[in-house]
A and B are shown apart, each in its own frame.
Chain A
Amino acid sequence: ITAFSKIQQKNLEGYVGFANLPNQVYRKSVKRGFEFTLMVVGESGLGKSTLINSLFLTDLYSSEYPGPSHRIKKTVQVEQSKVLVKEGGVQLLLTIVDTPGFGDAVDNSNCWQPVIDHIDSKFEDYLNSESRVNRRQMPDNRVHCCLYFIAPSGHGLKPLDIEFMKRLHEKVNIIPLIAKADTMTPEECQQFKKQIMREIQEHKIKIYEFPETDDEEENKLVKKIKDRLPLAVVGSNTIIEVNGKRVRGRQYPWGVAEVENGDHCDFTILRNMLIRTHMQDLKDVTNNVHYENYRSRKLAAVTYNGADNNKSKGQLTKSPLAQMEEERREHMAKMKKMEMEMEQVFEMKVKEKLQKLKDSEAELQRRHEQMKKNLEAQHKELEEKRRQFEEEKVSWEAQQHLLEQQKLDASRYTLVHTIALTLALLLLLD
C-alpha cells in the first residue's frame, strides 16, 4: 500500500509556481539559523588558533579566550567554544572543539581516545534525543568536520598522524592540513603533499571527499582542489599593508607571506571549500554516513544482544519494532505448529487408547458370545437329552401301562376265570 504506483512524467501547460519552493526553503533556513561544529586537532604550536581566527575573520581565540596551545594540560582534554556569528542576515552558531594536549606528551599512546569519546558522546546525545518518545528540537552538536594539522616536517606523516586518522576516519570528516606552510618552498611543499597522499592511500585512510556533481565546470574545480590535497595553510592575526592593500599576513624581513594569496598557500581554497561551498555537505555526510554508522552499530548491539548472530545479518534493514513484530509472529507460528503437533499426538494417542478399548470390548464381547453359545448349546443338549428321556420314559411308561393293563386284564381275566371256575366248581358241587 505504500509502494508508489508508476510515476508519470507530466508537462506543465503554464506557470504553476512551485519553482518558488527553493525560495521557501531559503527563507525558512535563514529564519532557523545554522549550526556547525568544527574540531581542530594537532600538536601545540602548529597555528591552529591563528588559522581559526583567520578562517572566520574574528578573534575567536584571543588573550581573553586563549587557544588550546596556551592552555597547557597534563592530559588531552576536549573543550568546546561556542560563538554566534552573523553575516548577510544569516546566523551561524559555530562550535569549535579543540584538543589541548594532543600529541604534546612524551607518551602519546591513546591520546586519540578522548577525541573518539567526544565524538561518540555527541553521536550518543543525538541518538538519544532522536529516540525519545517526546522529541523536542534536536540541537545538532555532532562534529561535522575535523581539521587535522600536520607538522611541516617535509618528510611525511608521523606515526601519530597515521594512527589518529585511521581511528577517526570512519567517525568524522577528516580534512588534513599542512600547518605553517610558509616554512616550506613550493617545491618542498609539493613533495611533502605527494608523500602524504601516498601514505594516506597506503594506509587506506578515508579523508573527506568532495562529492561529484552533475556540473562539468564544478567537477573541473573539484579536480583542481583534489590535486592540491592536503591543503597547506598559513594563518595570521595581523593585518599588514601590501601594495596599498590591507591583508592578513606574516611579515618577514624578506617579504610578506599573505594568507589569502593563492600563490603563497592554500588558505583561500580551504576557506572556500570549508565555509562557502561544502559546509552543508560536511553536515550531510556526518548525518547520512558517520552518524548512521554509529547508530546502526549501536542499535544492532542492543537488539541482538545474545541473539543468534547469523540471523542478525539479514535483519538490519528492519526497525526494532518491526523486528519485535516479526519475532512475535514467528513465535505465534511456532506455537501454532506446536499446538497442532501436540493436538495430533494427543488425537493419535486417544485414538490408540480408544481402539484398544474397543478391541478389548470386542474381545470380551466375543468371549461372552462364545460362552453364551456354549451355554445355549449345552442347554439344547440338555433339552434334547431331557426330551429323549421324556420320550423314553413316556414310551416305557406307556409300555408298562400296557403291560399293566395286560396284566390287569390278565389278572382280571384270571380273576374272572378263577371266579368262573370257582362258580363252576360250586355249581358242580351242587
Chain B
Amino acid sequence: SLGSWWLWRFLLGFEKGEGVRAVPLSGHVGFDSMPDQLVNKSVNHGFCFNILCVGETGLGKSTLMDTLFNTKFEGEPTQHNQPGVQLKSNTYELQESNVRLKLTIVNTVGFGDQINKEDSYKPIVEFIDTHFEAYLQEELKIKRTLHSYHDSRIHACLYFIAPTGHSLKSLDLVTMKKLDSKVNIIPIIAKSDAISKSELAKFKIKITSELVSNGVQIYQFPTDDETVAEINSTMNGHLPFAVVGSTEEVKIGNKMVKARQYPWGTVQVENENHCDFVKLREMLIRVNMEDLREQTHTRHYELYRRCKLEEMGFKDTDPDSKPFSLQETYEAKRNEFMGELQKKEEEMRQMFVQRVKEKEAELKEAEKELHEKFDRLKKLHQDEKKKLEDKKKALDDEQNIFKQKKTAAELLQSQAQQAGGSTTLKRDKERKK
C-alpha cells in the first residue's frame, strides 16, 4: 500500500529536497477532512457494482439476489432447455440513505443444462473479457472520459455450488479454474437447507480441499486493514458460505422474518445458526464491496490489460533506467503495422502479376495450337487440292487422248466411207449386173 511506501521513503532520509521529512504541526491544519472530501465526491458521483452469478438452473440465484438486496429484481425463472450458456444482464438503480448504487446483476442462463458442458465456461470468460476490453479501449482513447465512465467490469462472481453434500462437480472446478484469474470468486453453497449440519461441515471441508488441490484462487477477504482484519479473517474460515434465499416472510415470535417453511420447521434466512446468509451479506456488501471493486481494477483488470498489450506486441523498454516512452512504442508499433500492410499489398500485386503472366502464356499456347491446327488443315487442303489438280490433269489428258482418237477415228471413217462408198458402189454395180 502507498502508506507503507511513504514510510519507507520517509525512513530513507532527511536530505534536503530529496528525502521526505516528517514535520510536526503546531495546530489543526484541517487536511484530516481529506477522507471526507473524497467520500463526498464519491457519494455525489454515485457508486456502481456488478455481480455475476454463475450456477446451474434452479439453484436459486435470482432468489438470493432478491434476498440480498431486499428487492424483487427479475422476471421469469428459466427452463432447463437452453441450447447454450447465455449471460443476461440487468442494471438497477438503488438508493439507501444518501448512497446511490448502480447495481448490475449478470446471470448465467442455461449453465449446466447441456449434455456436453465442455464449452460452458467460454461465454462467461468472453463476457468478462468483453467488459475488460471496453474499459481498456476507453482508457486508451485519446479523448477519454474515464471519470464519468460507467464501469461495466464484473466486481464479484458468486459461484453457486449444488448442495449435493459430496464434492464439487467437475464442471465447477473447470469453470472456477478458468475464472479465478479474471474475477473475484466467492463460492457459495446454494439451497443449503437441503444439507444437515454435520454433512455441511464435511462438505465445506471437501470443497475447500478440492479448490486448494486444484489451485483455484478464490477471493480472500482482505486482512491488511486492522479495522476489518479480524472479521475478515474469521469469515475467510467460513467459506464457502452456505446460503438460503427467500423473499417469503414468516411470523416468528412477533416479527416477520424472511424464511422457508417446512413441515419440520422453518429455516430463517437471517438466523446465523440456520445458514451463512448474514455472513455473505456482511462480507459482500457491508464490509468489502469497495475492496472487491478495487481488486477487480488493480489486479484482474491489470492482468487482462498486460496480457492484451503484450499480445499486441507492446512491451516496456527498460523498466528502471530509461523512462518508458509511449510515444516511441506507438510509433514503432504503427510503423511495423504499416509495413506489414504494405507487404501484404505488395504480395497481392505480385500474385496478380504472376497470374497474368501465366494466363498470357496459356493463351499464347492456345493461340499457337490453333494456328498449328489450321496450318495442318491448310496443308491437308493443299494436298487435296494438288490431288484434285492431278485428277483434273489426268482427266484433261484422257480427254485429249480421246479427242485425238476420236479425230483419228473419224478421219479414218470418213476415208473409209469414201472407200466404202466405192465398194458399196461396186457392190451395187455388181448387183445390178
CB of A79, distance to nearest CB on chain B (Å): 6
Encode contact with A along B321-336: 1 for CB under 8 Å, 0 otherwise: 0011111011101100
Encode contact with B along A275-314: 1 for CB under 8 Å, 0 otherwise: 1111111001001100010011011101101000000000
Whether B290 contacts A25 by the Cβ 8 Å rule is yes
B219 at interface (Cβ–Cβ under 8 A)?
Answer: no
Whether B10 contacts A353 by the Cβ 8 Å rule is no
Whether B71 contacts A12 by the Cβ 8 Å rule is yes
A317 to B72, CA, bound (A): 39
B252 at interface (Cβ–Cβ under 8 A)?
Answer: no
* Chain A interface category by residue count: 35 or more
Q: Which residues of A contact B70 (CB under 8 A)?
A: 12-16
Whether B140 contacts A320 by the Cβ 8 Å rule is yes
B107 at interface (Cβ–Cβ under 8 A)?
Answer: no
Q: Which residues of B contact A108 (CB under 8 A)?
A: none
A414 at interface (Cβ–Cβ under 8 A)?
Answer: yes
Checking B25, B282, B430 against A87 with a beta-carbon cut-off of 8 angstroms, the contacting residue is B25
Interface residues of B in 346-390 (CB under 8 A from A): 348, 352, 355-356, 359, 363, 366-367, 370, 374, 377-378, 381, 384-385, 388
CB of B230, distance to nearest CB on chain A (Å): 14
Encode contact with A along B29-51: 1 for CB under 8 Å, 0 otherwise: 11111111111111110010100
Whether B99 contacts A21 by the Cβ 8 Å rule is yes
A7 to B324, CA, bound (A): 41
Checking A85, A287, A292, A364 against B29 with a beta-carbon cut-off of 8 angstroms, the contacting residue is A85
Checking A7, A31, A350, A372 against B93 with a beta-carbon cut-off of 8 angstroms, the contacting residue is A7
Residue of A nearest to B140 (CB): A319
Residue of B nearest to A299 (CB): B142
Encode contact with A along B159-190: 1 for CB under 8 Å, 0 otherwise: 00000000000000000000000000000000
CB of B417, distance to nearest CB on chain A (Å): 10
A326 to B327, CA, bound (A): 19
A288 to B145, CA, bound (A): 8
Known: A90-B31, A354-B363. A24 touches B288 (CB 8 A): yes
Whether B22 contacts A85 by the Cβ 8 Å rule is yes
Whether B24 contacts A302 by the Cβ 8 Å rule is no
Q: Which residues of B contact A59 (CB under 8 A)?
A: 23
Residue of A nearest to B39 (CB): A22
B2 at interface (Cβ–Cβ under 8 A)?
Answer: yes
Known: A25-B42, A133-B306. A33 touches B6 (CB 8 A): yes
Q: Which residues of A contact B224 (CB under 8 A)?
A: 31
Checking A13, A19, A58, A386 against B97 with a beta-carbon cut-off of 8 angstroms, the contacting residue is A19
Whether A89 contacts B32 by the Cβ 8 Å rule is yes
Number of interface residues of B (CB under 8 A): 140
A429 to B420, CA, bound (A): 28
Interface residues of B in 126-150 (CB under 8 A from A): 130-131, 134, 136-144, 147, 150
A303 to B327, CA, bound (A): 8
A321 to B385, CA, bound (A): 79
Known: A12-B94, A319-B142. A90 touches B32 (CB 8 A): yes
Whether A57 contacts B326 by the Cβ 8 Å rule is no
Known: A280-B41, A350-B363. A16 touches B96 (CB 8 A): yes
CB of A162, distance to nearest CB on chain B (Å): 30
CB of B241, distance to nearest CB on chain A (Å): 15
Centre residue among A31, A36, A315, A386 by max chain B CB count within 10 A? A31
Whether B348 contacts A31 by the Cβ 8 Å rule is no
Known: A24-B288, A56-B25, A322-B137. A13 touches B326 (CB 8 A): no
Checking B44, B152, B227, B289 against A4 with a beta-carbon cut-off of 8 angstroms, the contacting residue is B152
A28 at interface (Cβ–Cβ under 8 A)?
Answer: yes
Q: Which residues of B contact A89 (CB under 8 A)?
A: 32
A368 at interface (Cβ–Cβ under 8 A)?
Answer: yes
B399 at interface (Cβ–Cβ under 8 A)?
Answer: yes
Q: Which residues of B contact A15 (CB under 8 A)?
A: 70, 96
Q: Which residues of A contact B327 (CB under 8 A)?
A: 298, 302
CB of A202, distance to nearest CB on chain B (Å): 30
Whether B423 contacts A58 by the Cβ 8 Å rule is no
Q: Which residues of A contact B (CB under 8 A)?
A: 1-2, 4-22, 24-36, 55-60, 65, 79-93, 125, 127-129, 131-135, 137, 139, 213-214, 271-272, 275-281, 284, 287-288, 292, 295-296, 298-300, 302-303, 305, 315-322, 324, 327-328, 331, 335, 338-339, 342, 346, 350, 353-354, 357, 360-361, 364, 368, 371-372, 375, 378-379, 382, 385-386, 389, 392-393, 396, 400, 403, 407, 410, 414, 417, 421
A-B contact pairs, 27 of them (CB 8 A): A4-B152, A15-B96, A17-B96, A18-B47, A21-B47, A25-B38, A27-B228, A28-B291, A33-B3, A83-B21, A85-B29, A87-B28, A87-B32, A93-B20, A137-B5, A276-B30, A277-B33, A280-B41, A295-B142, A316-B142, A319-B137, A320-B140, A338-B345, A379-B388, A382-B392, A385-B395, A396-B402
Q: Which residues of B contact A (CB under 8 A)?
A: 1-3, 5-6, 9-10, 16-17, 19-44, 47, 49, 68-73, 89-99, 101-102, 104, 130-131, 134, 136-144, 147, 150, 152, 224-225, 227-228, 281-282, 285-291, 294, 302, 305-306, 309-310, 312, 314-316, 319, 323-327, 329-331, 333-334, 337, 341, 344-345, 348, 352, 355-356, 359, 363, 366-367, 370, 374, 377-378, 381, 384-385, 388, 391-392, 395, 398-399, 402, 406, 409, 413, 416, 420, 423, 427, 430
Known: A9-B92, A18-B101, A33-B6. 12 other contacts (CB 8 A): A4-B104, A10-B71, A15-B96, A18-B286, A31-B225, A84-B21, A131-B324, A303-B142, A316-B141, A318-B141, A346-B352, A360-B367
